[in-house]
């Protein structure tokens, strides 16, 4: 009998690397690092000793994972990660867009039937999104499974959590965390307890400084105080130096910025840790999911650029905080019982000034010229076809439902003629041009962001390495590789590290996790199941 038991056991170890991996995980910890970049994960790999180190050393890492849509912002990115669908199909075309019927902007997770608990403003939820996400697929099979989603950003937390999570929390920018009445009538007691312990207003007396000697930073990344970085304080004029002294900010400003500092991510992780205990997650054979969206990398990247010393320090601090968090989970739930997924909603461009110093054709699309050309184009349109036929919203243009084909042609000709004069613009292109385009990576990404009703009629696509961000900072939102190439790791205790070079898409993540958990999922998802052996 022993021989018959021994050989299957040996074969299982050979095939899977570690016995617990044969079993379904009790818990999935889905970590989305906002504006995370695969290139920075590799760049700082040798410095990691905590969570990033553990995930890399115990993970199947897909080093060529890409978003396959062209408008790379927070809303579309997180929608794709959790739903397995392209943003155009689901209508989450960007963070906010112009609603032609309401004649106003619409926020991607706006819920006019609920209110936000802390300030009573319009609520946030998944209510008006007409499909489901990973957490919903879990609950469809196991109604007692727990799904929790926590982020610094409301849209990230909502879009990861799906239709029917047990709790969704986000930073309220006033010193705490909040939710909407879609999810709860009042803020849970345990959340209030954690907020009190955090005492976020007390950080006004703190300084964000380097955790390693300064020479380590200067040897690995670019110099501090590079022109093009944002200056959070402007206390002594423009002087974006590190460290950052919080008492040089107004208290209200510090509270508003807190969620995009390393300390904000630490607070989000702490809430995630507490939620595991409050909801008894990972304690039975009904799998649970904890979504954690960590927002600091995005805020720091926007302000200082991806190759700043601030961003390097943030990566090191997040590595430390994730290490402590993973150690706690592994000790409390057990090795091999937890599946960790690490990825991101989008990447980012480097500071144009930094790219220019390396001889790259890069720049900032000049806001004064942009605004002047927009005004000129809109005035000409109004004179030629009348007002209320074309709406400008951000850097896109929407045609009213009442516009006829001749008026549409006139407006299109004017916009293309005027706006192609704008420095840093690759193309002024219609929705129809995009849908009729070819099949290159660039063209497919553009197509996958188009929704037939919600999308703008005219897009302005920046040139490669040019940004709308003006006059300081870095941004994202383009179809280029630096904005769509993101990390992707599936990690589990006892699993040996492996790097896979195959090209995969972020729409593959949700169906892959569903497959690991043995779930049925909708047939209309755009992703496929990845092999993570």
Q: Which domains does the chain have, with CATH numbers?
A: 21-356+482-516 (3.40.720.10), 366-422+425-462 (3.30.1360.150)
Give the Cα separation of 490 and 51 in Å (integer).
13
Q: What is the DSSP letter of 151?
A: E
In the prediction, which pLDDT does 220 show? 96
Above 70 in pLDDT, residue 22? no
Alpha-carbon distances of 300 from 78, 218, 309, 314, rounded to whole Å:
19, 18, 10, 8
pTM: 0.94
Q: What is the pLDDT of residues 427-460, one digit of tens each?
A: 999 999 999 999 999 999 999 999 999 999 999 9
Who wins on pLDDT, 260 or 17? 260
Above 90 in pLDDT, residue 234? no
Contacts for 143 with CB less than 8 Å, ≥ 6 apart: none
Print burial letters for 169-191: b (CB count within 10 Å at least 16), e (below 16). Answer: bbbbbebbbbbbbbbbeebbeeb
Above 50 in pLDDT, residue 180? yes
Cβ atoms of 40 and 481 closer than 8 Å: no
In the prediction, which pLDDT does 2 show? 31
Cβ atoms of 178 and 170 closer than 8 Å: yes
β-bridge partners, 208? 244
In which band, very low, low, confident or very high, does the pLDDT at 23 lie, cut at 50, 70 and 90?
confident
In the prediction, which pLDDT does 440 show? 97
Q: What is the pLDDT of residues 372-414, one digit of tens each?
A: 999 999 999 999 999 999 999 999 999 999 999 999 999 999 9
Task: Determine the average pLDDT of the residues in 52-68.
Answer: 98
Q: What is the pLDDT of residues 66-109, one digit of tens each?
A: 999 999 999 999 999 999 999 999 999 999 999 999 999 999 99
Contacts for 369 with CB less than 8 Å, ≥ 6 apart: 422, 423
Give the Cα separation of 519 and 511 in Å (integer).
9
Q: How far is CA 84 from the centre of its chain?
A: 14
Q: What is the mean pLDDT of the chain?
A: 95
In the prediction, which pLDDT does 6 show? 35
In the prediction, which pLDDT does 533 show? 83
Task: Determine the average pLDDT of the residues in 99-126.
Answer: 97
């Amino acid at each position: 009998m022993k021989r018959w038991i021994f050989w299957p056991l040996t074969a299982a170890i050979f095939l899977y690397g570690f016995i617990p991996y044969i079993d379904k995980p009790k818990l999935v910890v889905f970590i989305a690092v906002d504006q995370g970049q695969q290139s920075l994960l590799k760049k700082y790999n040798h410095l990691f000793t905590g969570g990033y180190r553990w995930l890399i050393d115990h993970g199947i890492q897909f080093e060529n994972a890409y978003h396959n849509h062209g408008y790379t912002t927070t809303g579309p990115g997180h929608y794709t990660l959790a739903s397995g669908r392209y943003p155009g199909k689901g209508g989450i075309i960007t963070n906010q867009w112009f609603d032609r019927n309401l004649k106003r902007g619409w926020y991607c997770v706006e819920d006019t039937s609920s209110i936000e608990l802390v300030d009573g403003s319009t609520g946030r939820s998944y209510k008006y999104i007409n499909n489901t996400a990973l957490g919903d697929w879990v609950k469809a099979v196991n109604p007692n499974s727990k799904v929790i989603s926590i982020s610094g950003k409301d849209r990230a937390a909502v879009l990861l959590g799906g239709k029917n999570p047990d709790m969704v929390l986000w930073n309220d920018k006033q010193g705490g965390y909040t939710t909407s009445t879609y999810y709860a009538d009042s803020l849970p007691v345990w959340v209030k307890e954690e907020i009190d312990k955090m005492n976020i207003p007390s950080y006004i007396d703190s300084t964000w400084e380097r955790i390693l000697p300064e020479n380590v930073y200067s040897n690995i990344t670019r110099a501090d105080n590079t022109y093009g970085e944002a200056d959070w304080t402007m206390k002594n004029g423009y002087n974006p130096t590190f460290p950052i002294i919080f008492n040089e900010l107004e208290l209200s400003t510090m509270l508003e910025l807190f969620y995009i500092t390393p300390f904000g991510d630490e607070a989000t992780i702490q809430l995630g840790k507490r939620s595991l205990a409050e909801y008894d997650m990972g304690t039975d054979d009904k799998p649970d999911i904890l979504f954690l969206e960590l927002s600091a990398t995005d805020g720091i990247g926007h302000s200082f650029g991806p190759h700043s010393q601030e961003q390097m320090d943030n990566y090191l601090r997040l590595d430390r905080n994730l290490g402590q968090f993973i150690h706690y989970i592994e000790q409390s739930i057990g090795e091999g019982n937890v599946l960790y997924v690490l990825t991101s909603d989008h990447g980012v461009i480097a500071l144009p000034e930094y790219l220019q110093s390396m001889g790259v054709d890069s720049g900032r699309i000049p806001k004064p010229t942009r605004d002047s050309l927009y005004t000129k184009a809109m005035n000409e349109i109004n004179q030629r076809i009348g007002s209320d036929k074309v709406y400008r919203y951000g850097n896109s243009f929407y045609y009213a439902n009442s516009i006829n084909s001749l008026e549409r042609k006139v407006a299109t000709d004017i916009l293309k003629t005027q706006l192609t004069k704008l420095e840093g613009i690759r193309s002024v292109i219609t929705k129809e041009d995009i849908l009729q385009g070819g099949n290159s990576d660039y063209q497919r990404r553009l197509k996958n962001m188009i929704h037939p009703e919600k999308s703008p009629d005219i897009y302005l696509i920046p040139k490669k390495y040019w940004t709308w961000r003006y006059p300081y900072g870095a941004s994202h939102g383009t179809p280029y590789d630096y904005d769509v190439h993101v990390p992707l790791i599936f990690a589990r205790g006892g699993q040996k590290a492996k790097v896979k070079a195959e090209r995969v898409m972020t729409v593959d993540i949700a169906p892959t996790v569903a497959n690991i958990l043995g779930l049925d999922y909708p047939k209309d998802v755009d992703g496929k199941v990845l092999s993570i052996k």
